[in-house]
Amino acid sequence: MTITVTAFTGSQFIPHLDDLALLRMTVFREWPYMYDGSIAYEKEYLAKFSAAEGAVCVIARDGENVIGAATAAPMTEHAEEFGAPFRAAGYQLEDIFYCSESVLLKRYRGKGLGHAFFDQREAHGLKLGGFTHSTFCRVIRPDDHPMKPKDYRALDSFWTKRGYQPVDGLIATYPWKDVGEPKDSDHKMQFWMKAL
């Protein structure tokens, strides 16, 4: 397979919005997010993201097929739900570069693409300048959740190798509809950070 990883900014990734929407819906439907999304919501979310100042989208392709993507932008460009815990903890949002998501089809995992996604997003944050920290968050689910696969491997060690650590008390709340549930519910999201 010939895999390429390319960073796009602003309007450059508008042609890829359909592929990104389907990718997000596919990957986030898995544990631990179990997100039951819709194409309409995804297109609206991604169109808004593509217009964000300082946004970057890193796209992985196998040939012409989009098989993974990761996004990032200044925290000031993201939803208030994500900025609020930083403000409450005394951070300036202008100092925070937020790596908002990373999605990769299952059969391409374990091939170094996760590192490539972080490398390119962090490089973009450094190029923009002015940020003291890079951050991302992950959903908090109980270990005994009935939907948790027996073979699930958390990514904590990978994130730690990248220099990230969870920050006590830095938790966002964000709603989405879980698979099998009738409506949206709130989910707790733990932030991890590293100095840039």
Q: What is the pLDDT of residue 1?
A: 62
The span from the CA of 32 to the CA of 179, in Å, is 11
Cβ(116)–Cβ(60) below 8 Å: yes
Residues of the chain with pLDDT under 50: none
List the domains of the chain with CATH numbers.
3-144+154-195 (3.40.630.30)
Q: What is the pLDDT of residue 84?
A: 96
CB-based contacts of 86: which residues, under 8 Å, 6+ apart?
75, 93, 96, 170, 191
* 157-181 pLDDT per residue, tens: 999 999 999 999 999 999 999 999 9
pTM of the model: 0.94
Q: What is the pLDDT of residue 47?
A: 87
Cβ(34)–Cβ(178) below 8 Å: yes
